[in-house]
């Protein structure tokens, strides 16, 4: 809400607006009782309607008001209705000191501008401020921080732009709006000690971050205390002396990386920097917080002892040789409010000295939560305020996370474990829908604020993104059938589109609704390049009557972004570049395609980008989220012993019987276009453990999965959705890669995954996927040449059985089943002379849930993963009978993937784990605001 000059708010008469942004509007006002000018910061309506945020806002203002220090002041709170505009609700405002002058950032910038011309005085040869001037400013900054720290207040956003120098030379520390109150040092205002990115406002509620003044612990997302401010103080002092930023990377992520790791060369300081100040900077800029200067008062004392007149403030004057220029204070003078409070935990805020800038393209980057990594990219909500992304959760399982753009905190959504890539939002940005693949798969929705998920329908095949219109209709991709629709209240799904084999189509995916809510754009994947691209569909048309006219050739699913007028923009990938093309919202492209970003990642046709109608864009570049896990060696206590190969997006892992090799499946197609027709684009890789260097098992195309070693060194695997259209074929190939793949079971019409090969190499156990379940079958491998291999059933029931594993003596098979209503581990005898090949006896091994069993190589233990991903061990006795013991927990894991671990002969566990190394390789998600303004035409 805006106030006009002359309006009254309690005792305060509005004089003029000073600035506006996401955290409120600021006005110059006259205190009619005390006859002084003040700054009024109006609390935004968004916060005023939130009782919890309002309470935090008021408590924080009270804490900061207690500073009562000449370098940082707040006068009080005002809660009254304006005198103009009858019927208006009460307005809450913070009454602050009005400061007129210039920022330290402008002072440093002025010196730099003066140096850009021919020097007219030796004084201008030096790039930074004069030592005495810099130290005088630093002393006053230290005094302000000392007063704040004594009250338990940590600034957390100290930088030159937040330091004002008045006309009289007094230094003011501004923008305590992101301050945190140290535990036990005042009211609990609920502010988290998360890293804070400093901002320049771009539009209400959205900001751009820079990170050059953060402490290393703050940049890493760790808890901070007052020593974070001491680091920032050191960075500012360095900049004043050197005339250049200490950390100034090309992007936010580069800057953060420099803050965390780059060497600080103290020899680059000006030669006239006093040794005592060099030592002070070394102590302030020690990355080990335990060795850093412990109290800012020590810095103040050190500087006061050096300065010849420590009581003097900085003399504000133009540098020598700047004759003919107006004084720097006059040229950049403006009014600014001391920002002494803001909403607790909020990231967005406004530099109140600024007028709202003209709309322009602004970008910043978002890092994944600590100790995890992005699996794909973030999907923006329609209102542009939040985003959702999939990443490993606290227990290592994939889960959806939600983060507000005005916050640094992302939180996992309970109940979304196992969510497939491609979650999507409801039109009102309240709900999220997502698929959980299985047999059957389930489409679910959950409130973005949290709560129990609701199953909307079941489907067959793999989930492939969706869209939700304002009429309550959801359209989503599910396997090789076409797009399906379902009401957002739940119900039976029905096909909207139908795969056309005559056009060599493989899948329909990635729907995005147009403004009318009836028509949608989607991607048709086809082995015929001329048929691959974006098409227009309608929820009112029959599946076999949808238009077969290609709208646009593209390598990814589309994203349609409506504009404020008619039509909008169509976003898509072409050869790794994110392109934008104007679309009339009906059937016509109205411009040429324009590149928006390069090297954007993808997962098959699922492009790693999203956009909102508010002008926000999110995307992943380069390798993106490829490195989501690492293969780690762990002992029986879970202690890390080593790592095999580089971090990557691994899905399965198995050791060879002789313990010399390891095979793993991992995701490909990242940062470029995946093979036509491939859904997940996973491939089998193999490595010798002594070297740890992975290489591809096959050079052909297609999607490979579930490698299983045989004793003779060959590897069985499955291929799904290959270029020739075959589904679920089983092959095997020598581990050294020499020779062509040998077909084991082909053209059977169902998806199959090898689980294990018997110790004598005679049998392969695999799971066979029907429409509603998985069953375990045995395939003989020692048939005479030219003889057809005929599989026989092992466990075929209405339940879902998988992960079959032969015991070391070949007489028993462990597997998991959901016959009890949840997954448990079972063991049954194996007799190849019988059909079904089942001996007498069946034992349930786990009692509180279990999955993915593995045998110890000596046959004395059976391992499995509990529902919380804890590694469990059960002692067993093998022989003519089977005798299991009691399950005991070994250690917690963060195992991820389809079959994420194996056990060596010496008892070590090789676990596909979300690790620190893997998380550090995950590139940030790039957010671009007003992205259309930055298009190159």
Q: Could you tell me which residues are beta bridge partners of residue 766?
A: 754, 777
Handedness of CA 425, 431, 437, 442 (dihedral sign): negative
Give the integer Cα–Cα distance in Å for 433 and 464. 12
Q: How far, in Å, are 113, 322, 331, 360, 781 from residue 325 at the CA level?
A: 11, 6, 9, 31, 89
* Helix (H) / strand (E) containing 150: helix 131-150
Is residue 848 packed enough to be buried (19+ CB in 10 Å), middle (13-18) or exposed (0-12)?
exposed
The pairing of beta strand 362-366 with beta strand 379-380 = unpaired
Give the integer Cα–Cα distance in Å for 572 and 712. 47
Give the integer Cα–Cα distance in Å for 510 and 516. 18
The alpha carbon of 282 is separated from its chain's Cα centroid by a whole number of angstroms, namely 34
Catalytic: which of 157, 395, 488, 649? 157
Helix axes 226-242, 275-284, angle to 10 degrees: 140
Helix axes 226-242, 104-115, angle to 10 degrees: 20
Give the integer Cα–Cα distance in Å for 350 and 334. 15
The answer to whether residues 453 and 515 touch, using CB atoms and an 8 Å cutoff, is: no
The answer to whether residues 142 and 300 touch, using CB atoms and an 8 Å cutoff, is: yes
The alpha carbon of 934 is separated from its chain's Cα centroid by a whole number of angstroms, namely 24
Terminal-to-terminal C-alpha distance of the chain: 37
**Extended beta strands in 85-227, E state:** 91-103, 153-154, 163-166, 171-173, 180-181, 198-203, 206-210
Output the six-digit token pair for 639: 């202690």
Residue with the two structure tokens 């949608």? 520
Give the integer Cα–Cα distance in Å for 181 and 278. 30
Three-state secondary-structure class, residue 296? helix
Give the integer Cα–Cα distance in Å for 901 and 718. 19
Q: Is 760 a catalytic residue?
A: no
The answer to whether residues 454 and 515 touch, using CB atoms and an 8 Å cutoff, is: no
Helix axes 131-150, 226-242, angle to 10 degrees: 170
Helix axes 296-306, 226-242, angle to 10 degrees: 30
Give the integer Cα–Cα distance in Å for 874 and 846. 9
Half-sphere exposure in the Cβ direction for 679 (13 Å, CA): 25
Give the integer Cα–Cα distance in Å for 285 and 265. 11
The catalytic residues are 157
């Amino acid at each position: 809400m805006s106030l006009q000059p002359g309006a009254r708010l309690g005792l305060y008469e509005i004089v003029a607006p000073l600035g506006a942004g996401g955290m409120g509007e600021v006005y110059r006002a006259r205190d009619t009782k005390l006859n002084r000018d003040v700054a009024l910061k109006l609390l935004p309506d968004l916060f005023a309607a939130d009782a919890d945020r309002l309470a935090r806002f008021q408590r924080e203002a009270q804490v900061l008001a207690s500073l009562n220090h000449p370098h940082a002041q707040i006068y009080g709170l005002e809660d009254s209705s304006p005198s103009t505009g009858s019927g208006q609700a009460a307005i809450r405002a913070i009454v602050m000191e009005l400061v007129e002058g210039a920022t330290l950032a402008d002072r440093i910038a002025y010196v730099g501008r003066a140096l850009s011309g021919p020097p007219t005085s030796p004084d201008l040869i030096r790039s930074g401020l004069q030592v005495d001037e810099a130290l005088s400013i630093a002393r006053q900054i230290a005094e302000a921080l000392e007063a704040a720290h004594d009250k338990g207040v940590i600034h957390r956003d100290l930088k030159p732009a937040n330091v004002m120098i008045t006309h009289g030379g007094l230094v003011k520390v501004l923008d305590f709006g992101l301050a945190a109150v140290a535990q036990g040092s005042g009211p609990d205002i609920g502010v988290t000690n998360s890293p804070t990115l400093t901002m320049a406002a771009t539009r209400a509620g959205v900001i751009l971050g820079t990170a050059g003044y953060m402490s290393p612990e703050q940049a890493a997302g760790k808890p901070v205390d007052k020593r974070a401010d001491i680091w920032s103080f050191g960075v500012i002092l360095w900049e004043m002396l050197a005339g250049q930023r200490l950390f100034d990377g090309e992007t936010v992520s580069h800057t953060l990386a420099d803050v965390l790791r780059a060497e600080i060369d103290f020899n680059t300081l000006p030669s006239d920097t006093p040794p005592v100040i060099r030592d002070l900077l070394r102590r302030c800029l020690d990355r080990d917080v335990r060795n850093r200067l412990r109290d800012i008062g020590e810095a103040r004392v050190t500087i006061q002892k050096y300065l010849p007149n420590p009581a003097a403030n900085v003399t504000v004057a133009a540098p020598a040789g700047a004759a003919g220029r107006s004084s720097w204070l006059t040229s950049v003078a403006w009014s600014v409010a001391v920002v002494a409070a803001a909403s607790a935990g909020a990231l967005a805020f406004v530099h109140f000295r600024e007028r709202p800038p003209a709309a322009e393209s602004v970008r910043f980057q978002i890092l994944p939560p600590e100790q995890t990594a992005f699996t794909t990219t973030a999907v923006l909500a329609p209102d542009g305020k939040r985003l959702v992304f999939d990443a490993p959760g606290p227990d290592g399982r994939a889960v959806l996370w939600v983060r507000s753009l005005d916050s640094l905190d992302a939180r996992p959504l309970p109940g979304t474990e196992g969510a497939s890539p491609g979650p999507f939002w409801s039109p009102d940005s309240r709900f999220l829908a997502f698929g959980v693949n299985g047999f059957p798969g389930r489409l679910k929705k959950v409130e973005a604020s949290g709560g129990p998920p609701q199953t909307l329908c079941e489907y067959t095949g793999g989930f492939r993104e969706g869209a939700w219109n304002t009429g309550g209709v959801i359209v989503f991709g599910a396997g090789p059938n076409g797009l399906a629709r379902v009401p957002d209240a739940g119900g039976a799904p029905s096909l909207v589109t139908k795969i056309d084999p005559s056009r060599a189509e493989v899948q329909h995916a990635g729907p995005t609704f147009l403004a009318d809510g009836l028509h949608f754009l989607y991607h048709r994947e086809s082995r015929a390049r001329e048929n691959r691209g974006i098409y227009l569909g309608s929820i009112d048309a029959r599946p076999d009557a949808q238009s077969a006219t290609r709208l646009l050739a593209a390598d990814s699913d589309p994203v349609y972004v409506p504009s404020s007028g008619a039509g909008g923009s169509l976003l898509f990938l072409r050869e790794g570049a994110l392109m934008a093309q104007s679309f009339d919202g009906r059937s016509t492209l109205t411009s040429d395609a324009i590149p928006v970003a390069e090297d954007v990642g993808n997962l098959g046709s699922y492009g790693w980008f999203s956009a909102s109608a508010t002008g926000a864009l999110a995307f992943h570049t380069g390798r993106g989220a490829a490195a989501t896990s690492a293969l780690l060696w762990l002992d029986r206590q879970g202690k890390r012993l080593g790592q095999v190969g580089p971090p990557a997006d691994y899905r399965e892992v198995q050791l060879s019987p002789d313990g010399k090799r390891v095979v793993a499946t991992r995701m490909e197609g990242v940062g470029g276009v995946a093979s036509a027709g491939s859904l997940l684009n996973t491939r089998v890789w193999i490595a010798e453990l002594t070297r740890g260097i992975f290489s591809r098992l096959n050079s052909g195309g297609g999607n490979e999965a579930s490698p299983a070693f045989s004793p003779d060194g060959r590897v069985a695997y499955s291929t799904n959705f290959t270029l020739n259209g075959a589904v679920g074929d089983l092959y095997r190939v020598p581990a050294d890669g020499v020779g062509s793949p040998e077909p084991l079971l082909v053209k059977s019409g169902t998806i199959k995954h090898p689980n294990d090969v018997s110790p004598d190499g005679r049998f392969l156990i695999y799971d066979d996927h029907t429409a509603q379940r998985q069953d375990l079958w045995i395939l003989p491998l020692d048939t005479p040449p030219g003889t057809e291999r005929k599989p026989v059933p092992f466990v075929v029931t209405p339940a879902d059985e998988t992960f079959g594993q032969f015991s070391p003596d070949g007489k028993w098979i462990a597997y998991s089943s959901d016959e009890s209503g949840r997954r448990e581990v079972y063991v049954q005898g194996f007799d190849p002379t019988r059909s079904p090949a089942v001996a007498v006896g069946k034992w349930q091994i786990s009692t509180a849930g279990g999955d993915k069993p593995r045998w110890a190589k000596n046959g004395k233990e059976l391992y499995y993963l509990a529902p919380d991903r804890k590694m469990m061990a059960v002692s067993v006795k093998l022989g003519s009978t089977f005798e299991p013991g009691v399950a005991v927990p070994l250690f917690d894991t963060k195992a991820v993937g389809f079959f994420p671990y194996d056990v060596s002969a010496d008892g070590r566990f090789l676990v596909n784990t979300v690790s620190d190394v893997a998380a550090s390789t995950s590139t940030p998600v790039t957010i671009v605001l007003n992205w259309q303004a930055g298009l190159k035409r």
